[in-house]
A = this chain, B = another copy of it.
Amino acid sequence: MKIVVDGMGGDNAPEAPVKGAVEAARELGAEDSIIIVGREDEVRKVLDESGYDGDKIEVLNASEVIETGEPPVKALRRKKDSSIVRGMELLKEGKGDAFVSAGSTGAVFAGSVMKLGRLKGIGRPALAAIYPVVGMEPSLLLDAGANAECKSEYLREFAIMGSIYMDKVLGVKDPTVGLVNNGTEENKGSALTKEAYQLIKNSDVNFVGNIETRELQNHAADVIVTDGFTGNAIVKLTEGIGLMVIREMKKRFLSSTKNKIGALLLKDQLLGIKKEFDYSEYGGAPILGIKYPVVKAHGSSDPQAFKQTILKAVPFVKGDVIGKITESLEAYEEAQVENSDETSDVSGQEK
């Protein structure tokens, strides 16, 4: 399989994606390789500097770059020779199997929907984020911000898509699914969460019910389902508190000689906490509900984070995540049709 990497996406491009690709290439299987899309001269310069001389990396020129501040839809239409547009075209043309980009979240998401297309039966594709749980395995949270307004049906789809990705890519069998709510009881919440509770409960996932955000750092569930507005708030708040903890530790622990000695003795432990708060350690965020595998890497990804994200694209493709999601949607639609048939039968008998 071929993994397409956006060489121009992210705060540290092209260095970070290209170096990450070089590191990932060393660990890929015999039949797997990478295509880096971006300004060829810039990409090749980093490749040369890195001393890579293998045959697992191709470079495809794309002269334009979509910047983070640009309105996504307009940028995608105008910049036809951008790394994001060209990269996605490779997937449609069958020349690539997965696309990894640390570019503008809006552009990568909008491009996924516009260029690659939604899966039949999916209301809204979601951005699924790896949610770090310090001292434990991470959860997968979706929607992490793509859909500020959601219907309950979307949340049911998020539960199914998240479960399949968690199983096939992150290797958690029969992953638990929790619904973010303002209380744990079944009857709690907004109209949206009450409806979603019933829909998810009746779906083929390992639903553990409502979870409060207080429990997220206790790994309340493997898959955390929520609307994109709340998901965005959760992910960014966690990030912000992580930064604050590091800021406060630095400030306090360097405030006297005694404290400095203490901090020195605890250095490894302090770095450990910092590292666990760090998103980039866990690979990227898949966009689920579209026809091809796309993974959004964090904008601040370093080569190590790119490497992880690129390598995670392998089970995304080989585990046939998208095929499994499609099957699950079809099975649900069939069950719905059967149920409505049964209902007609019953009403027929009653007549």
Contacts and interface: CB of A to CB of B under 8 A. Distances in A.
Interface in A191-239: 191, 193, 212-218, 228-230, 232-234, 236-239
A114 interface: no
7 contacts: A135-B247, A145-B182, A148-B182, A182-B228, A212-B236, A213-B240, A245-B273
Contacts of A214: 236-237, 239-240, 243
Interface in A243-261: 243-245, 247-249, 251-253, 255, 258-259, 261
Contacts of A266: 252-253, 259, 262-263, 266
Interface in A261-298: 261-266, 269, 272-273, 276
A269 B252 contact: yes
A190 interface: yes
A189 interface: yes
Interface of A: 134-135, 145, 148-149, 180, 182, 189-191, 193, 212-218, 228-230, 232-234, 236-241, 243-245, 247-249, 251-253, 255, 258-259, 261-266, 269, 272-273, 276
A34 to B, nearest CB: 32
A204 B150 CA distance: 32
A291 B238 CA distance: 37
A134 B233 contact: no
A218 B237 CA distance: 11
A258 B215 CA distance: 31
Contact of A262 (B180, B237, B243, B262): B262
B265 A252 contact: no
A298 to B, nearest CB: 13
A240 B215 contact: yes
Interface centre among A214, A216, A218, A238 (most CB of B within 10 A): A214
A316 to B, nearest CB: 26
Contact of A243 (B217, B239, B255): B217
Nearest to A187: B71
A139 to B, nearest CB: 13
A195 to B, nearest CB: 13
Nearest to A135: B248
Considering the complex of A and B, which 8 residue pairs feature the smallest CB-CB distances, nearest first?
A262-B265, A217-B244, A213-B237, A262-B266, A214-B240, A252-B269, A214-B236, A148-B190
Interface centre among A229, A232, A261 (most CB of B within 10 A): A229
Contacts of A276: 248
